[in-house]
Structure 1
Amino acid sequence: MPDTVDPDAAAAWVFSAARDGNREARAAVGRYVKDLAVGTAALVLTLDPQLVVFGGGFSRSADLVLDRLRRELEKLCLRVPDVRASTLGADSVALGALRFALNEVDHRLFTAGLSAPVAPRRD
């Protein structure tokens, strides 16, 4: 990787170079996918999900990752779930957290069993 590449843009540079056929970048992506597969396989073997979603900013590089990830998971898992890329991109984590918070607010406001509000007393 050139010294001129900002460390915050290193991953984007590597994925772009891999798309352009750079052998070292393609090898780095391959190592990333193998590491990702080990962690994913641990979760798959534990939770047995039907779907694994590849999200966050890296989902923009799903074209380089998903097929390799599926192949690696086939080596490591008894049953390979469907593997898809998130359509939410880098916002997926923040939007998921927001959805979780909104579900909690909805639950607290509209669940049966809440006590009725008490009108303030005038003395």
Structure 2
Amino acid sequence: MIPNHGLKMEERADPADRERYQRLVGKLIYLSHTRPDITYAVGIISQFMHRPQVDHMDAALRIVRYLKGTIGYGVFLAKREDLEIDGYTDADWASNPIDRKSTGGYFTFIGGNLVTWRSKK
């Protein structure tokens, strides 16, 4: 996802094929369970499922192109003797220019393996 993407509903923008967009985003949501690197971008584009526009479809296809170039990425669980627990969090307070809502998230590792993560607007 482009930083400061500025995706929003435009008044006179061209509409995208809604069924195609919804199918694509649904598949990306399912895939994001094992590809946490795309969860933020998928969360952004899933906000426009009710009335997608061409810019939203372009953003979804950009994620697909990213996935094509990063096939070896994903959640990998390795056996380790060390069971140290690490957690990280971040938040972006009131960053959405439309509704002034915040975005926050966290993820935790056990023994160096990613076990939980969450992102929420």
TM-score (norm. length: structure 1): 0.27
Q: Greater strand share, 1 or 2?
A: 2
Give the TM-score taking structure 2 as reference length.
Answer: 0.27
- Please identify which structure carries the higher helix content: 1
